[in-house]
Amino acid sequence: MFTSNPFADLTVFLPPLVMQVYIVLMIFAVAIGTLFDMLHKSSAKFFALQRKKSQAAATRRLSGAETASIAIRTIAKEVATSGEFCNPKRRISHLLMFYGFLLHFITTIVMVFGYPTQATPAPGVLPVLWNIGALMILIGGYWFFFFLRVNVAYEGHSPFSLMRADLFIVTLLGSVTLACIWEIVQIAGNLTTTKIAFGLYIFFTTLLFVSVAWSKLAHMFYKPVMAFQRRVEEANGSSTLPTPAARNEGR
């Protein structure tokens, strides 16, 4: 149980090419949605102007090695360890969802493209990793949804009081929850119920990826860029923000 490729079993009622084309379309949807969001909010223009302003105000020029070092530190802190979160609970929740999503998404791609049919059985570790990724998302996501959201944790609102900012977490949890339900139903062997569960899984997954321009998914691309720019400004002397020492003195 949970060691067989769930996508290979789809060939009973769905050609492998359908899922392969679907994944490509979802990747394009994310790219187009992110570009639309950048144009709509003028993010690209803002980044370009901020960089130009930083270069003009810089008191020293950074070498290529210094810039590369800043990029590595940004990836290590803001991306790999979510260092921007001061609240340790939110940080752990975010990391569970982030690494769970990567694991779940990558193993999905490998199984769909590399082992599309029952005639090409996937190594047992891939479905296991797929399920581990899903479990990480569910733990981090439901923890965040019911206990850590700002309007729930600090404003006392009901967890079911939703706003547009919740679109990403709701569609993500819907997609992964239904993926697990689909897998369990598929193992049970009822074809009709399997088709229904799979259809719901695809619906929420599609909603997750096509709603990039209106959800927080695009923010995962912006935050590292902004963090990198902030570090560059601190290093070249163009930053208008107080230094850590100055902030400590003001306390």
Structure confidence by residue, pLDDT tens digits, 198-228: 999 999 999 999 998 887 666 666 677 778 8
Asked if the model's pLDDT at residue 197 lies above 70, the reply is yes
Q: Fill in the amino acid letter for 73.
A: R
CA–CA separation, 242 vs 233, rounded Å? Answer: 12
47 compared with 53, residue with greater pLDDT: 53
15 compared with 232, residue with greater pLDDT: 15
* pLDDT of res. 1: 59
The answer to whether position 209 is within a domain reads yes
94 compared with 86, residue with greater pLDDT: 94
Asked if the model's pLDDT at residue 244 lies above 60, the reply is no
- Cα-based distances in Å from 172 to 50, 166, 242, 250: 32, 10, 37, 41
* pLDDT of res. 87: 85
The answer to whether position 109 is within a domain reads yes
CA–CA separation, 24 vs 239, rounded Å? Answer: 41
Contact 110, 20 (CB under 8 A): no
The answer to whether position 131 is within a domain reads yes
The answer to whether position 134 is within a domain reads yes
User: For residue range 59-86, what is the model confidence (pLDDT) as tens digits?
Assistant: 888 888 988 998 888 888 877 888 777 7
The answer to whether position 110 is within a domain reads yes
The answer to whether position 125 is within a domain reads yes
% residues pLDDT > 90 (the chain): 47
- Please state, rounded to an integer, the average pLDDT across all residues of the chain: 86
Average pLDDT over residues 176-185: 96
Q: What range defines the domain where residue 216 resides?
A: 8-237
* pLDDT of res. 249: 45
Long-range contacts of 46-49 (CB under 8 A, 24+ apart): 47/225, 47/229
Asked if the model's pLDDT at residue 239 lies above 70, the reply is yes
The answer to whether position 3 is within a domain reads no
Q: Is 189 exposed, middle or buried (0-12, 13-18, 19+ CB in 10 A)?
A: exposed
Global pTM value? 0.85
Number of domains in the chain: 1
**Scanning the structure block, which residue is given the tokens 């999905």?**
108
Q: Fill in the amino acid letter for 37.
A: D
The answer to whether position 242 is within a domain reads no
* pLDDT of res. 242: 62
Asked if the model's pLDDT at residue 109 lies above 90, the reply is yes
**Scanning the structure block, which residue is given the tokens 């290979």?**
8
Ramachandran sector of residue 189 (left: φ over 0; alpha: ψ -120 to 50; beta: rest):
left
Instruction: Give the model's confidence band at 246: pLDDT under 50 very low, under 70 low, under 90 confident, else very high.
Output: very low
The domain that holds 62 is classified in CATH as: 1.20.950
* pLDDT of res. 22: 97
